Amino acid sequence: MKKKLFFGALVIVAIIVISVFTAKSSNPSDTDLYILKPVQRGPLVINVLEAGSIKPQEQIILKSAVEGRRSIIYLIPEGTYVKKGDLLVELDVSELETKRGDQVIVVQNAEAEKLIKADDLVVAQNQAKADIELAELKVRFAKEDLQKYKEGEYPKNLSEAEGNIKLAEEELERARDKMEWSKKLYDEKYLSETEMRSDELSWKRAELSLKTAKGNLDLLQNYTYKRQVAQLESDLSQAEMSLERTKRKAGASVNSAEASLRARELEHSRQLERLKYYEKQVTNAKIYAPMDGLVIYATSANNRWGNREPLSEGMEIWERNELIYLSTASSFQAEVDVHESNLKKIKQGLKARITITALSGRDFSGVVSQVSPLPDAQKMWQNPDLKVYKTVIKLDDDSGELLKSGMNCMAEIIVEEFKDTLYVPLQCVVKESGKAKVYVLDKNGKAVAKDVEIGLDNNRNIQILSGLEEGELVIENPPLQKSTVDGAEKKNAEKNNQPPEATNKMQETQSKDKKQEDLPPASPAPDAIPQVAGK
């Protein structure tokens, strides 16, 4: 019985001890939750590491200048050093050669039509000139006829009519005197009645001639003159209007001939330009070296990820496709993609150290010569969230003996070098309300925030300008602000259907496990300092 009581007491004591130990381990102190790092003093290099490739500093990009899709029927081997005028690429343009032959016939027909229209224009001009001259002659004749009648024929006819009247009056007077004398002689029986009647008839005939002469004068003045003048004036007006019609008709005929000639000339020019276009396309099918240089295929230079078919004979290409990179100098440069987060650190003139993957143990120096003002469009198309800027690093002139175009490299761009400065791991610094802070432990082992002034960072360490002393311990995994933690706990609890206390406990356990593992933290992006809302 005593043994049973003794063993029962031992079990109770063991349960109490285990409970106390479990309660203690489930409520660790703040010191157990954090990783502490000392503030260090020493040299600090602010740099940016980016991968890229080696390319010649001077090169000519040769592209396809033939329309449509064409097959390569000849391609010079890559790596060949060529002289100016050497054939590099030849494309299949048999279809264009056929079109060029057909176009020659079209141009000849257009030229023949142009010559015909040129002759038609000359004929129209001559005909227009002849018609106008004839119409002008008719107008001149009509004017002369009117003037001739008014100043010549009419005065003449008027004089004749007036003279006929005078002659008739004199003839009447003489006939009357002879008749009267004949009557006297007849009364005295010296003249026969027949002779007297003959003289009387002559008197009446003279009287009738006078009336006729006066009637002719009246007809000439009141009828014939007016009608003849009106007729001649009408003839003149008709001739003038005919001249105007002739001029207009001749002008229209000449203009039509000129328009037809211009149309044929334009058609001939258009067809001739099309022939020149075909000839140029056929000529562009052969790409020659514009100068001495080393041949590099565009697919080799730009096929970093192996997603493009290598350039080869028989391959089909489109117009304006890059075919050959002709390196014209022995000096090289490194092209790297700088992430937008590092862009504000990079500027022209910064020194860089280049490491070539294929040349281990050999570094090359260079200077940043160009930073693209816009992000790489191709990379943005592949990943809209990725924005990188093409940066060119010009290598020293003595680097061309070992380098080859297309080699992979790693560029270390030196932004700043400090011989003696304070720095801490980048994870130690947080921003609250726009101010940089670090967390340290107070005398009670509680994490408290401390304002600091920071400088540049190199994705691993960040420069401390003021606020800390060498050797001072700072928290590498600083706590988030309570409001932010509560919000995150609540969100995670809702997602996992757990109470916030369980989530908080799990986070504390993970933090403790991290401290026990003591693994180095991952390097975040340069400006990826945790943002914590202000209290």
Domains of the chain: 29-58+329-532 (2.40.30.170), 59-91+286-328 (2.40.50.100), 96-283 (1.10.287)
Q: What pLDDT is stored for residue 403 in this prediction?
A: 78
pLDDT at 32: 64
Residue 10 has a pLDDT of 65
Residues whose CB is less than 8 angstroms from the CB of residue 164 and which lie 6 or more positions away in sequence, other chains included? 213, 216, 217
pTM for this structure?
0.51
What pLDDT is attached to residue 19? Answer: 53
- In total, the chain counts a number of residues equal to 535
Whether 331 has a pLDDT exceeding 90, the answer reads no
Q: pLDDT category, 208, cuts 50, 70, 90? A: confident
Of 143-157, 251-265, 441-455, highest mean pLDDT: 251-265
**pLDDT on residue 25:** 44
Q: What is the pLDDT of residue 521?
A: 37
% of the chain exceeding 90 in pLDDT: 28
Instruction: Report whether pLDDT(240) > 50.
Output: yes
Mean pLDDT of the chain: 80
Confidence check: pLDDT of 318 > 60: yes
Between 195 and 528, the higher pLDDT residue? 195
- Mean pLDDT (whole number) for 347-361: 86
Q: In this structure, what token pair is assigned to residue 449?
A: 């925030």
Q: What is the mean pLDDT of residues 459-470?
A: 88
Q: What is the DSSP letter of 521?
A: P
The predicted structure's pLDDT at residue 108: 94
- Does residue 38 register a pLDDT over 70? yes
Is the pLDDT at 274 greater than 60? The verdict is yes
CA distance 41 to 464: 10
| Distances 441 to 267, 397, 438, 449 between C-alpha atoms, Å | 91, 54, 10, 9
Q: Is residue 526 predicted with pLDDT exceeding 60?
A: no
Q: What does the CA dihedral 286, 289, 295, 297 come to, rounded to 10 degrees?
A: -40
Bridge partners (DSSP) of residue 421 are 42
Which alpha helices (H) appear in 149-188, and where do they start and end?
154-187
> Which pLDDT score is estimated for 448?
87
What is the pLDDT confidence band of residue 513, given thresholds at 50, 70 and 90? very low
Question: Which sign, positive or negative, has the C-alpha torsion 283, 286, 291, 296?
Answer: positive
